[in-house]
Chains A and B, each alone.
Chain A
Amino acid sequence: DADVTQTPRNRITKTGKRIMLECSQTKGHDRMYWYRQDPGLGLQLIYYSFDVKDINKGEISDGYSVSRQAQAKFSLSLESAIPNQTALYFCATSARAGTEAFFGQGTRLTVV
């Protein structure tokens, strides 16, 4: 089945380290998103991309950067991780505006 795959699934890293979370999809969707989930705060949009040449900041982009390497790949980087970036991160894709977003399994990141 076409899916959205995130790697790694779990990661523990130290404060100040650079870390990259990867997302790949086999759905053939142009639109890709990165969300952060904290308890009680819902899903907050970090960055989104509508095609390979399009990158947009979301609600909480500070401290994060992204790269859209291909239609199927969208990576999220933390240049210098800090403890309050400890969270569950989800990648999602959609075919176009106004259609269902499909989520990856999530990456649980812990910054110590």
Chain B
Amino acid sequence: GENVEQHPSTLSVQEGDSAVIKCTYSDSASNYFPWYKQELGKRPQLIIDIRSNVGEKKDQRIAVTLNKTAKHFSLHITETQPEDSAVYFCAAGGSQGNLIFGKGTKLSVKP
């Protein structure tokens, strides 16, 4: 079945710096790649997603890139702010239409 690897597991940056989180997936038939943010004690919420017919997508300070050949996708956050501190999950939409998640990255943004 689908497997999603996510790195790093923890990431600490200074406010204003950029943060990058990387994921790889195993099922070449996957065609949907969302990113979720989970604040402490809250439910995961979608922040951005990308489909396999697109190589890059940007929404203000966040962007996602996809390399289908290498089966890699990444989340980029620029000009980080303390409110960006959270756990971030990548996921891959499997060939059966389910969603398999990575293990998460705990991002800490220090003022």
Contact = CB atoms under 8 A, between A and B. Distances in A.
Interface of A: 31, 33, 35, 40-45, 48, 50, 56, 58-59, 90, 92, 94, 96-101, 103-106
B97 interface: yes
Contacts, number: 57
A33 B43 contact: no
Contacts of A45: 98-101
Contacts of A42: 6, 89, 101-104
A106 B38 CA distance: 12
Contacts of A92: 99
B100 A100 contact: no
B contacts with A: majority SS: strand
Contacts of A43: 44, 89, 91, 101, 104
Nearest to B97: A97
B43 A105 contact: yes
A100 B44 contact: no
B51 interface: yes
Contact of A56 (B6, B98, B102, B103): B98
Q: Tell me which of B91, B97, B100 has the highest count of chain A C-beta atoms within 10 A of its own C-beta.
A: B97
